[in-house]
Amino acid sequence: MASEAPAPSLVGSRTEDGVAVLTIANPPVNALAQPVRAALLAAVLAAEADPAIRALLIIGSGKQFVAGADIREFDAPPRVPLLNDVLLKVEAATKPVIAVLNGTALGGGLELALACHYRCASGAATLGLPEVKLGLLPGAGGTQRLPRLVGAAAALELMLGGVPIAATRARDLGIVDRLLGGSDALAGGLAYARELVAAKAAPRRLRDERVAADGLEPGFFAARRLEAVRALPGLLAPGYIVECVEAAVQQPFEAALALSRRRFEECRESVASRSLRHLFFAERPSSGASAGALVVKQVAVIGAGTMGAGIAISLATSGHAVVLIDPSEAAVAAGAERIAATIEAAVAKGRLASAAGAEAIARVTTAATLEAAAGADLVIEAVFESMAVKREVFATLDRVCGPSVVLATNTSTLDVDEIASATRRPGAVVGMHFFSPANIMRLVEIVRGRASTPAVMATALAVARRMGKLGIVVGNGFGFVGNRMLYAYGRENQLMLLEGATPAAIDAALKSFGMAMGPNAVGDLAGLDIGYRVRRERKDRPTDPRYYRVADLLVEAGRLGQKNGRGAYRYEPGSREPLPDPAVEALILAEAARLGIVRREVAAEEIVARCTFALINEGARLLEEGIALSAADVDAIWCNGYGFPRLRGGPMFYAGSIGLAAVLAGIEGFRRTHGPDWTPAGLLAELAAGGLSFEDWDRRRSATAAGQGVVR
């Protein structure tokens, strides 16, 4: 590990009344990247050596203290000075060091504050150690210093939950020594520092404190470890956090700190943590993506069904005025009732303040004609998934809406360009594919039509973000990204049903892999008739007689899923538990015989490989075609919209974790036994031949775009 020269500009230093004010300035969140660490260490050592300095004060620039480490560094070899070493030097200072928490203090930021001798905070500050959410533990002494300050039980609650707390709560716990009044945190911090100097306060080092553990029940740590591992299965960090806090009770500071460093490195190198860190960046809003967005105050939602009502709820609770439009008086009344009931339930569960809930309900009005959309800034169509119906709606909207209105379709599979062609303003048309239930699901595919203008795209992204959604731009084509990949995934599920696997066996194998639900249970939940109608809308439907044959037969037999208690499974009245149904097995056996398919036992390993490799191959094709803009986008879509296991990072990241050469070999093997559907994507073959991953491809594309001045 080679040392690098510090960058002093990242940590400003000035002296006021014998107090060295060290200001961390690494916008936007003052992350403790290597240059910042080096500059901070140099500034602390300089202040220590200056006889005129009587105390040190550390504060962040802007509205942040320090929101954590630079997570990008975790995928590379460690760079000195390590944060742990910097904090040991801060703690060892012979002059009082005061942290002024003027804003967010998370992760490494709170660990820095804990290494300081005293802590004061503005009332707006938030503090936390959220590392567990990235499959990590606090690696720079947080597992050791925090228990010495607040006790083992409270420290575990903060670290295992990973949820930030307010400054008032931090003061009550004893993390913050003083809560600052007024709006000037620096002035308050300087006043506090002068008091400490006047009182000749000595440095107070947490490493020298004893953990308050006398009141813990026998077996406390064993019970907490078991509970933590059960709550967050698949992660090393929860169990290791408990182990490190137990070490804080039982071992000297140096030994327990060394243990925490070893455990941090194990977590950092784990596939689960690497996957979560990958998704952390994949899900971050693109810089500048909403620049140029139009102002949207009122939104018209066309269609008062489950999807339309869900969209309206998200809009209303995010501050938008909404008019819910449906020609059916019964439907619009039911939609309004559903909106009010859902918002009231959120209030009852404490997820929404009572006043905010009442205001959200009041923002929703209803209407029975499309003319009511005339005053909207944005219209979101959520009607029946039929091209003819949608074109008719958009032709009417084109007539009644003003020239600056953005027209969005919530279609999940249909051609956005064909829908736009029903208007005289195709540039104003964009896809906003919400996922059901729309008031809960975070993902929105923002579909760029051939003529969609930059302002329209930016507006759709900005509205999605204001709604608290993850908006991801995709290209136009059947199923866009998520559903097109879903059809490849579902194709293999359907074929394996004919080949000999039961719905329960397929679902069990994929749940064991980590999927939130198996594909057959998902189909029943969504309604098998929905996919049936979509397949009949397709102009390029495959001619293979096996294609989604089981699903089609189920619908034609009146088995629609949970909605009528019979689908791939049967359901008892009032229950959502899927129960195997001999009638389904008989139906599949008969169809397999008619098609001449010799049935066999399909192993769980084959089930997982065929379904996941189909996803990867289709994802690679989408990247080749430009429908998906990055592999990270594909991963974010599948983890947020389709229940792909986050601990595997999404299908494209998962491919890299097992090696693209291995994926390619598996796909080529399936092509030999199952035919041309398994032709490898050219991009997959190219990357595998070069020993590269989809992450490498993303980095190469990003570098090219940056060189050309492109903003995604």
Q: What is the mean pLDDT of residues 454-459?
A: 97
Q: Give residue for tokens 């000999």.
A: 500
pTM of the predicted structure, to 2 decimals: 0.94
- Which residue type, as a one-letter code, is found at position 540? D
Give me the phi and psi of 593, to 5 degrees please. Answer: -65, -40
Asked whether residue 709 carries a pLDDT value surpassing 70, the answer given is no
Nearest Cα neighbor of 627 from 436, 482, 444, 467 is: 482
CA distance 1 to 580: 58
Beta bridge partners of 561: 566
Q: Which residue among 117, 320, 433, 674 is the active-site one?
A: 433
Q: What is the mean pLDDT of residues 165-191?
A: 96
> Is CATH 3.90.226.10 what the domain over 8-269 is classified as, yes or no?
yes
CA distance 644 to 641: 8
Percent of residues, the chain, with pLDDT higher than 70: 97
Q: Give residue for tokens 């009572």.
A: 354
Q: Give the list of residues 6+ apart from residue 82 with CB closer than 8 angstroms, or none.
A: 37, 140
**Residue 706's pLDDT band (cuts 50, 70, 90):** low
pLDDT, one tens digit per residue, over 571-602 is 999 999 999 999 999 999 999 999 999 999 99
* pLDDT the model gives residue 710: 39
Question: Three-state SS for 575?
Answer: coil
CA distance 259 to 700: 38
pLDDT, one tens digit per residue, over 24-37 is 999 999 999 999 99
User: H-helix or E-strand containing 668?
Assistant: helix 660-674
CA distance 273 to 266: 10
Q: Give the list of residues 6+ apart from residue 708 with CB closer than 8 angstroms, or none.
A: none
CA distance 6 to 80: 10
pLDDT, one tens digit per residue, over 123-138 is 999 999 999 999 999 9
Dihedral sign for Cα 62, 68, 71, 77, please: positive
* pLDDT the model gives residue 712: 39
Asked whether residue 705 carries a pLDDT value surpassing 80, the answer given is no
Give the angle 452-444-359 at the CA atoms, nearest 5°: 105
pLDDT, one tens digit per residue, over 217-260 is 889 999 999 999 999 999 999 999 999 999 999 999 999 999 99
Residue pair 520/611 in contact (Cβ under 8 Å)? The answer is no
Burial class (CB in 10 A: 0-12, 13-18, 19+), 344: middle
Architecture of domain 298-480: 3-Layer(aba) Sandwich (3.40)
Helix 604-625, helix 660-674: angle, nearest 10: 110
Q: What is the mean pLDDT of residues 324-335?
A: 96
* pLDDT the model gives residue 711: 37
* pLDDT the model gives residue 707: 58
Give the angle 686-623-417 at the CA atoms, nearest 5°: 150
Tokens of 392: 């008719």
Asked whether residue 703 carries a pLDDT value surpassing 90, the answer given is no
* pLDDT the model gives residue 324: 98
pLDDT, one tens digit per residue, over 359-380 is 999 999 999 999 999 999 999 9
Residue pair 382/307 in contact (Cβ under 8 Å)? The answer is yes
* pLDDT the model gives residue 1: 45
* pLDDT the model gives residue 289: 73
pLDDT, one tens digit per residue, over 92-102 is 999 999 999 99
* pLDDT the model gives residue 2: 44
Question: Three-state SS for 96?
Answer: coil
Largest CA distance in the chain: 93
For the chain, the structural domain boundaries read: 8-269, 298-480, 483-703
Tokens of 109: 């930021």
Compute the chain's Rg from CA coordinates. 29
* pLDDT the model gives residue 94: 98
Told to judge if 433 belongs to the known catalytic residues of this protein, a careful annotator would answer yes
* pLDDT the model gives residue 3: 47
Q: What is the mean pLDDT of residues 668-688?
A: 97
pLDDT, one tens digit per residue, over 485-523 is 999 999 999 999 999 999 999 999 999 999 999 999 999
Tokens of 547: 């294609």
Q: Which region among 145-149, 649-653, 666-670, 703-707 has the lowest average model confidence (pLDDT)?
A: 703-707
CATH classification code of 483-703: 1.10.1040.50
CA distance 466 to 318: 6
Three-state SS sequence of 314-364: HHHHCCCEEEEECCCHHHHHHHHHHHHHHHHHHHHCCCCCHHHHHHHHHCE
Asked whether residue 215 carries a pLDDT value surpassing 90, the answer given is no
Sheet containing 126-128: give its strands across.
Answer: 64-66, 104-106, 126-128, 165-166
Nearest Cα neighbor of 38 from 5, 65, 64, 76 is: 5
* pLDDT the model gives residue 657: 97
Q: Chain-wide mean pLDDT for the chain?
A: 95
Asked whether residue 286 carries a pLDDT value surpassing 80, the answer given is no
Question: Three-state SS for 40?
Answer: helix
Q: Give the list of residues 6+ apart from residue 94 with CB closer than 8 angstroms, or none.
A: 48, 203
